Amino acid sequence: MILYPAIDVFGGKVVRLRQGEYDDSTVYGVDPVAMALTFVDQGATWVHMVDLDAARSGEPVNRSVIASVARAIAGRASLQVGGGVRTEADAEALATAGVARVVMGSAAVADPALVRRVSDVVSVAVGLDHRNGVAATHGWTESSGVQVDDLLTQFPTASAFVITDISRDGMLTGPDIEGLARAVSRTSIPVVASGGVGTLSHLAELAAVIGLNGVIVGKALYESKFTVSEALVVLS
């Protein structure tokens, strides 16, 4: 199973939100490049970045930071980036910056055909962020009214689904094992879990979900619940 250490960037700094609330954030660093290199030095083969500014406003203010991270880890690890990727031009700019895979959330839910077009430019993961199974959009500030389970069949060209349970994100209380297992059973496209991981035992639970492709971990790493190296042992 692939481990995706997460770097959420807001105002150029490394932060974590609790349950997707912008007013409830913690700053964990001021150098996203150094953070990415720390993860890669410990064995990570992917790094997951989210541009929180772009997710909320649509303005790609952190794109230079993203490009710097891509350059720093090139040849050692791949970079996956989400947050405000809403057009083909956004995706193309990120691909040019060295991003291996973009994550499209709000725009994908609004226009599934967009994913097919962007897939011609760069690998696309569809981010399905939800509260109680209902997809949320626009930086988690709006509800789409659409069930995540109903969206799993709408993106045949997606390279992955990143499924985030917002109620668990940043809470360290454990992932939604039942919901993730159900999602895996309903699609042949790789599913990546996100939200809730707080212990190595949580990772072991995810590793036991047959067919689950990967897991994004953020706050647990920043709060020193475990290291990337320790996580990789559990997931191997």
Residues with active-site annotation = 8, 129
Yes or no: say if 177 and 194 are a contact pair by the CB < 8 Å rule: no
Instruction: Report the candidate in 128, 121, 127 with the shortest Cα–Cα distance to residue 99.
Output: 121
| 229 dihedral zone (left: phi>0; alpha: psi -120 to 50; beta) | alpha
Cα–chain-centroid distance for residue 169? 11
Alpha carbon distance 119, 95 (integer Å) = 11
Yes or no: say if 125 and 80 are a contact pair by the CB < 8 Å rule: yes
CB atoms near residue 146 (< 10 Å): 18
